[in-house]
Structure 1
Amino acid sequence: MKDLEDWAAVQKVYKQTKSKRATAKILDISRNTVKRLLEMTEPPVYHRTSYPSKLYEYKELIIEWRLDPYNFNGTRIFRELKEKGYTGSIGPIYRFLGKVDEDVGNHISKKATVRHESPPGDQAQFDWTEYEVLVGNRYQKVYCFAMILAASRKKAVCFSLKVDAEAIYEAIQELYKDLGGITLELLIDNPKALVIENNPKSEDEVRYNPHALMLAKHLGTELNACPCYWPRKKGKIESPFKYIEEQFIKGKNFANMEDLNRRVKQQVDGWCDQKHTTTKRIPNQHYLLEEQAVLLPLPKSRYRIKKMQNRKISPDSFVSINSNKYSVPVKYVGKTVLFRIVYGFRIELYDSKENFIMSFEQVDKKYQTFSNPEHYEAIAPRVSTSIPQIRRDFTQRYSNGVRYLDAAGHKFDQPTHYARKIMELQELYSLEVMDVLIGIAVDEDRMDIKGFKALLKEYNDGKRILEPIQQKDPASRSEPDLELTRDCSYYEDYAKEMCYADSNN
């Protein structure tokens, strides 16, 4: 209201200036306006100009035609009024009829509903929505599938990069598994992956997707499609999406899709430990006490609409999928495995009998190789075969390691060969025992593997009593010169012996 703002400004400035001319100049308005506003003893009040409705003179006639015995609808009333001189549109007629219907007769609002509380084990509700989520430092469109047990309000959630039929069927099965059993019915929305036709104006039954019916039969449940344009029918499943967006997604970054799924399951499980505002009970407790026992058992296998693809594991224990290589346990080398990609990011491997092997996340880049050292433990050497690494391991592990390599370097062509054989015995004895025996082997010149095993036998038979040694700080141990394998005098003596042998020949 401009007049009210001007009036307040004029009153304030005039009290300071005591001059109408100065007030008008400061506020950049005319002196006549200042004079008019100063003469007003009270703030100006806005008065809206009302215009008579074109429908006003016909309202009584409309009420008469709407009631018995006429019961005209809006279109008929509009046509009759035009014949009587009405020049307006049909919109005001329908708006007035809405008020008439509310005031006359036993009218009930279309929004009125009866809350239905399902018995335990009867119903689960399933739905999904999409979010923009920060995954791997970039925003991605992800789909959040959710399922809730109608009785206990226990919930389960998972995320996907796809929302096709395969992803929907997989999500239903995964969420039922998270909930620990199957309900008698599953309340669903009307996507083409589940429902082909659900016409609220038709008397015909709902036509479900054949794959959806086969999934329901596989699970042992019945599908119940929600009426079109009636979201309150599945109101219990709507609230989790608001919670997930506000309490979980906003302000968070996730390393990858597996990290997103792992963390949301933890969050939702913690949410189910809080008292529900409607039932006034804790969903997890309600579930354990009343609903878990009445759920139907889960099927032993998953329903799939596509056959799995096969791959042969390479000799270096890798499987190649979409131009990337992923390591698998070495026991599958040379065997043919089956795989499928779930939710657009998760690769699942199965053996030839469709027994699950492992799963891992698919990467976006191409021509990458991903190796897990645990997959090679069955064939991995217990001790390194690299000579420099053997020297480093031997001297860092044993305080007598430097002495041994120095002494063995004067006696053997390959002192690291015997050092490696000694380290292979480490699993059978403590580090302290091995360290003491290495020192004894140097002192008694029994540094080859046969002599060292003889020392171990004496120790096992009780013929060799070991005195405890003071362990030195590994950082204080002197490192041998890894580039020098033995003293140069060894090669001088060896060259003299070779020259002497050649002269005799």
Structure 2
Amino acid sequence: MLKDLAREQELTIGKVNISEISRMTGFDRKTVRHYLSSDVPPESRRRRNRPSKLDKYKPYIRNRLEQYPSLTRTRIYEEIKEQGYDGGLTILGDYISKVRPEIPKLPEIRYETPPGEMGQCDWFEYNYACTDGTKKKVYGFIMVLGYSRMRYVRFFHSQSLQALIEGHLGAFEYFNGVPKVLLYDNLRSVVLKRKVPSTSSEFHPEFINFRDHFGFTSRLCRIYRAKTKGKVERGVLYVKQNFLYGREFSSIDDLNLQVMGWLNTANAKVHGTTYEIPFERLPKENFRPYSSYPQFVFRKKYQRKVMRDCYISMYNNQYSVPWKYAGRIVDVIVQDNTISVFADDTEICTHILLEGKNQRSKKKEHFEGLLKKVLNEPCKSPKRKQDDTEEKEQYLVEKRSTADYDALFKGDAS
């Protein structure tokens, strides 16, 4: 090693040795040593212009990109392949990146709303790891206020209308008020049929009752228009990166407990756009206090048929009903987290609303006396198709003397 260092010190230009030249030029030290030791200066080699399989199609490609600058290389590849191109996709992509016209980007207009004017709502999915190693899918409801940038998040097992309403109620209580306008995407629990203009759309009747109760206006995002609800979309990304990523949760209750603590911390930090703290801007929203609104009671009525096993099905779960009502049509009223079953306008049972899917809520008293009823039920004998005498006549066998058989065999022997 010392001999090599000494040799490098001998081959120097001024005060710069071979290693330094190698670092400056990016060439290997052996290459630098070779040319320093040579008496003939290096000559640049010209590459031969070999014909490319793409040459024949370059005018077509340039013409297509001039007309439609956003065409993908896969689309162009399919088009020239039909014309006979048998080359690869890589060289096509390299050529397209060189000749594709630059697409001008339109300037963005940041839309800021005055205090108390607007909030934006959305759903997002999340899979959290359970203690048994499995993963559980939950849905996060998020609302972001346009002026103060206050955020609210709560997780549910589904994106049902009831979950949507409970998410709103939690947000209103957390913000201590209701915005004048709330902006939505095409949520099935909000809009049944979208029309143009969006104000003519057909909204869910239960959602209309909820909206009118609090007096806010519901608006829908513009179709095929990006960044219409950018505040809530950035809020979703912020929740995923700064709260969900790298955390563990034992249940959805634990998830909601932790997210509330995180919200109190996040809303107390300076926002990256307003450069102010959301909690400090919240009083400027000047909301009507949430406690001044009459209490909203979520109540929805269904009709269900009691199955033979004495259960009704609701929201992919099953609930027991007194066995005497098996086979009957009953009314089911869902209110808050309670299911009430009525027959002939009389309440016959109640259940706590189950979360998740494929679960059963069973009450033993609903089946009392059922076993005795079944055991005492008289057995019905099967209906006879034909009279016994007729059946015997069908299967009568002719009787013969043994002498007849002896005569028969003697005949065969002859």
The normalised TM-score by structure 2 is 0.51
Q: Distance in 1 between the 2:302 and 2:61 partners?
A: 71
Asked if the contact 1:187–1:234 (Cα under 8 Å) also holds between the matched residues in 2, the reply is yes
Give the alignment partner of residue 154 of structure 1, picking from 150, 154, 159. 150
What is the CA RMSD across the aligned residues, in angstroms? Answer: 5.0
Report Cα offsets for 1:435-494 as digits up to 9, x if no partner: xxxxxxxxxxxxxxxxxxxxxxxxxxxxxxxxxxxxxxxxxxxxxxxxxxxxxxxxxxxx
Q: Distance in 2 between the 1:193 and 1:48 partners?
A: 62
Asked if the contact 1:198–1:227 (Cα under 8 Å) also holds between the matched residues in 2, the reply is no
Q: Distance in 2 between the 1:190 and 1:180 partners?
A: 26
Q: 1:195 to 1:154 in 2, by over 3 A?
A: same
Partner of 2:293: 299
Partner of 2:183: 187
Q: 1:137 to 1:195 in 2, by over 3 A?
A: same
Matches within 5 A, 1:74-223: 109=105, 111-138=106-133, 139-198=135-194, 205-223=200-218
Matches within 5 A, 1:23-422: 51-52=54-55, 56=59, 109=105, 111-138=106-133, 139-198=135-194, 205-288=200-283, 290-293=284-287, 299-307=293-301, 342=337
Shift of 1:186: 0.3
2:123 alignment partner AA: W
Q: Distance in 2 between the 1:253 and 1:227 partners?
A: 37
Q: For residue 269 of structure 1, give the secondary structure of its aligned residue in structure 2.
A: helix
1:196 alignment partner AA: L
Q: Distance in 2 between the 1:231 and 1:48 partners?
A: 45
Shift of 1:233: 0.7
Q: For residue 211 of structure 1, give the secondary structure of its aligned residue in structure 2.
A: helix
Shift of 1:167: 1.5
Structure number with bigger Rg: 1
Q: 1:217 to 1:293 in 2, by over 3 A?
A: closer
Q: Distance in 2 between the 1:255 and 1:191 partners?
A: 29
Q: Distance in 1 between the 2:291 and 2:49 partners?
A: 70
Identity of aligned residues (%): 21
Q: For residue 156 of structure 1, give the secondary structure of its aligned residue in structure 2.
A: strand
Partner of 1:312: none
1:268 alignment partner AA: L
Q: Distance in 2 between the 1:257 and 1:268 partners?
A: 16
Asked if the contact 2:142–2:152 (Cα under 8 Å) also holds between the matched residues in 1, the reply is yes
2:175 alignment partner AA: L
Q: For residue 274 of structure 2, give the secondary structure of its aligned residue in structure 1.
A: coil
Q: 1:47 to 1:239 in 2, by over 3 A?
A: farther
Report Cα offsets for 1:97-150 as digits up to 9, x if no partner: xx8897xxxxx75x5432111111000110010011124554200101000110
Q: 1:53 to 1:181 in 2, by over 3 A?
A: farther
Shift of 1:43: 9.2
Asked if the contact 2:191–2:202 (Cα under 8 Å) also holds between the matched residues in 1, the reply is yes
> Unaligned regions of 5+ residues in structure 1, if any?
1-7, 16-38, 67-86, 103-107, 310-320, 325-337, 350-358, 370-505
Partner of 1:461: none
Q: Distance in 2 between the 1:179 and 1:361 partners?
A: 28
Shift of 1:162: 0.8
2:218 alignment partner AA: L
Q: 1:46 to 1:249 in 2, by over 3 A?
A: farther
Shift of 1:348: 10
Shift of 1:181: 0.8
Q: Distance in 1 between the 2:148 and 2:289 partners?
A: 12
